[in-house]
Amino acid sequence: MHLSCQEIFDFLIDYQEGKLSWWQRMKFRLHLWMCPPCARYLKAYSASSEIFRQALEQDPPPESLMELTENFLRKQRRDAPPEPTRKD
């Protein structure tokens, strides 16, 4: 049921073009919460893709279930050890 990282990249174009179902979008967003490497990649990707950034911002969680899940995952992320700071 969970998407793999490869599936996230496969879904990226469809996500941009609005072709994903509600459930696919939810899984896509959940993966980003659970997978910092993908979240970082998509953040960098979105920097060069205004459409993608807007799609993320304009896609609100449709159900309270989604909100509860995100709150749960946010708490887990907060409890996770901090990422190493970048050294120049």
The pair phi, psi for residue 2, each rounded to 5°, is: -80, 145
Minimum gap (Å) between residue 8 Cβ and Zn ion:
5
DSSP for residue 58: T
Minimum gap (Å) between residue 33 Cβ and Zn ion:
10
Residues in 3-62 that interact with Zn ion by CB under 5 A:
5, 35, 38
**Cβ distance to Zn ion smaller for residue 37 or 88:** 37
Stretch that binds Zn ion, among 1-9, 19-27, 44-52, 61-69 (CB under 5 A): 1-9
Who contacts 51 (Cβ-Cβ below 8 Å, separation ≥6)?
16
